[in-house]
Amino acid sequence: MFDAEYRMPEALPALPDDAEDSHPRCLEMAETMRDLFAAAGGVRSRDLIGAGFTWAEIVEFRDAAAKRANAASVREIHSRPDMVPDLIAKACTPLPHRPPLPRDTSETQALLVDWGRYCTARAALVLDPWAGQRERCLTVLASYLDRLPIFPAIRQTVIRKVETSLPEASQ
């Protein structure tokens, strides 16, 4: 008369929403949902049944498990501001998508354009090292650094370190 996998609602424990106190099957369903979503781009009831969950478990835990899966999948990333060694390292090996950004600096379009100009000048210098190109590279870097809220001494330190890392230019 009763299906072996059917559980009576009054027999279920009432558990709080804290992760430590959640039902183990709810936590397992949340992880399964994350895996299914990563693999297929969505989660269907038949996928959960195929993963070994019963209809009763799906009805009972679906909303809480989906909420947990979503919370576990979203990750906020806060990057720390670049310190002087970071400024030097990023200027010595420039990447267009990773501009040096010290504290109190936000990525503006003007900053990104200047950083892109420096990356382009640096790439041109690597391909064809000559004295004019080397000077242009340092001038464009100085222009970018002028936009940052850093002390002039730090600006000069970064330029000196980058100058020593540049390829030697032919006359």
Question: How does pLDDT run across 22-39, given as a tens digit for each residue?
Answer: 889 999 999 999 888 888
Mean predicted lDDT score pLDDT of the chain: 85
Which of 53, 73, 93 finishes a domain? 73
Q: In the prediction, which pLDDT does 8 show? A: 46
Is 133 a domain residue? yes
Count the domains in the chain.
2
CA distances from 152 to 26, 92, 145, 147, 158 (A): 57, 18, 9, 11, 10
Which of 43, 73, 103 finishes a domain? 73
**62 shares its domain with 17:** yes
Residue of 171, 167, 111, 168 whose CA lies nearest to 141: 111
**65 shares its domain with 91:** no
**27 shares its domain with 55:** yes
What pLDDT band is residue 20 in, cutting at 50, 70 and 90? low
Residue 58 lies in domain: 9-73
Q: In the prediction, which pLDDT does 37 show? A: 84
**103 shares its domain with 54:** no
Amino acid at 157: T
DSSP string, 15-57: --SSGGGS-HHHHHHHHHHHHHHHHHSS--HHHHHHTT--HHH
Is residue 10 within 8 Å of 46, Cβ to Cβ?
A: no
SS3 170: strand
Average pLDDT over residues 45-54: 91
Is residue 90 within 8 Å of 98, Cβ to Cβ?
A: yes
Is residue 121 within 8 Å of 91, Cβ to Cβ?
A: no
Is 34 a domain residue? yes
Which of 33, 49, 73 finishes a domain? 73
Question: How does pLDDT run across 74-126, given as a tens digit for each residue?
Answer: 665 667 899 999 999 999 999 998 999 999 898 899 999 999 999 999 999 98
**18 shares its domain with 69:** yes
